[in-house]
Amino acid sequence: MTSVARQWNAAGRSLRARRAVVVVASIAAPVVLWFVAVKMLDVDLTVPSGDDGGTSPVGLGDVALAATAASLVLWIALTLLEQVTSLAMDVWSVSAIALILLTLGAGGMEGMRDDDLDALVAMHLAHTLTLVVGFRRATPADRG
């Protein structure tokens, strides 16, 4: 293996490692907020379910699973964008922020209690902002 190939492989592993740390942080952010809301502030975190006016509890596993899935999908999307455009980070950042805004404004939150809504919005924003800012900082300037 040539020294250029070694440097490229090392840089790739380093970038993946930095991004993996960001993914872990983006999962931890809403999990910590869930603990604060549910365990410390005693918020009975629920979301509307069905048309009958019922609610479903939002558990720690739900938060961790949703954050993990979203983080991995967004990481894959960024990686794919980097294969096709030199503006990948900018396109990805705008898309990720637009997606969270659409998610929060898409409905389904009508009739939620204020404390539930506040906690869910805080968890969504903490996850997205950690991922966007973290990936932007983890990516070398020549890649994005």
- Per-residue model confidence as pLDDT tens for the chain (144 residues): 555 445 445 556 789 999 999 999 999 999 999 999 999 999 999 988 877 778 889 999 999 999 999 999 999 999 999 999 999 999 999 999 999 888 887 766 777 889 999 999 999 999 999 999 999 999 887 655
- pLDDT score, position 61: 97
**For residue 37, which of 123, 122, 119 has the smallest C-alpha distance?**
119
For residue 108, what pLDDT is reported?
66
pTM for the structure as a whole:
0.84
Is residue 30 a contact partner of residue 63, using CB atoms and an 8 Å limit? yes
- Which SS3 state, helix, strand or coil, does residue 77 take? helix
How far out from the chain centre does Cα 44 lie?
Answer: 23
Q: How much is the pLDDT for 5?
A: 46
Q: Give the pLDDT of residue 2.
A: 56
Per-residue pLDDT, 4: 45
Please tell me the predicted confidence (pLDDT) of residue 11: 55
